[in-house]
Amino acid sequence: MNEKDRLEILKDILFTEDREDIDKIADRIELLEQAYNSREKFASRVDPIVEEQLDKFTKSIPHTLGPTITATLKKEIQNHKDEVVDALYPVLGKMVKKYVAQEIKVLSEKIDNQLSFISAWKRKLRSFFGGSKEKELLLDDIGGEKIEQVMLIERGSGLLKASFSKTETIDEEMISGMLTAIKTFVEDAFNQKNQELELIEYELYNIHIQSFVNYYVAVVISGAYSLKAKDKVQDIIFDFYHNFMEMNLDLIYTSRHLEQPVDTISSKLIQKKLAEYFGNAKI
């Protein structure tokens, strides 16, 4: 075998299958080519029909498939609430967040104001009762409770009827208005129909409040306010009020005799009485 023969044999061994494959591929390409061409021809005729059908089909979905789809969706949504919410969240999220943020802003503003409302009261009370006196009190024996101030205040309107004070520095008219507002607010807010606000504790002061029908009495006490002292203060208030009411009755009685309209007892007189009862009281 010469070199050329060997090469031929080798070629045969190596490429026989190849050649067959190449022939097959060529056949297939030809087939495809034919198919493609005929399909193009076919399509040009068929496509419009398909399109029309598809269009009809799409339009009929709401009637035909619609209910089914809706029912399926409903069921899917029901079964996968969390996922649905999750999916919707990014879309709704922004809206919801904006709304919630706004609401929270309003709410926190309200709370801020509520707090500032209370701290404003505190600040005011402090400026009325406080100042350097507070420090003096701290240095003094704290145990000794003392009556600092007494106010007879008209219920409702909160107007000051009369007052007695050892230190004439504060605006008692404002104080009685504020005490009444606090009292009203607390009693109203907590709906304490049968319960009255009795004591306002304020740093070194206790404000004892005793309500009657037309008036209430507020006694400002410095130092620790013991139960024993509270008992005493209450007694003094009752004694004073009893006397005050008697004066009122006397007045009504006298004015009836005089056939004159009932005048109120002068603040000066009540003031004198307040000093009498509370001024030197040991509690």
Site string for other proteins, 164-183 (x = CB under 8 A): -------x-xx--xx--x--
Contacts of 234 (CB under 8 A, 6+ apart): 208, 210
Name the residue nearer to other proteins (CB basis): 185 or 234.
Answer: 185
Amino acid, res. 105: K
Interface positions, 113-132, toward other proteins (CB under 8 A) = 113-114, 116-117, 120
Among all chains, which residue has been given the structure tokens 């029901």? Answer: 78
Nearest distance, CB of residue 276 and other proteins, angstroms? 23
Site string for other proteins, 129-158 (x = CB under 8 A): -------------------------xxxxx
Residue 103 lies near other proteins (rule: CB under 8 A) = no
Residue 159 lies near other proteins (rule: CB under 8 A) = yes
Point out which span in 11-19, 38-46, 97-105, 108-116 binds other proteins (CB under 8 A).
108-116
> What is the rounded CA–CA span in Å between residue 146 and residue 151?
15
Nearest distance, CB of residue 119 and other proteins, angstroms? 12
Assigned token pair, 45: 């005729």
Nearest distance, CB of residue 81 and other proteins, angstroms? 37
Q: Binding residues for other proteins, per CB under 8 A?
A: 109-110, 113-114, 116-117, 120, 154-160, 171, 173-174, 177-178, 181, 184-185, 187-188
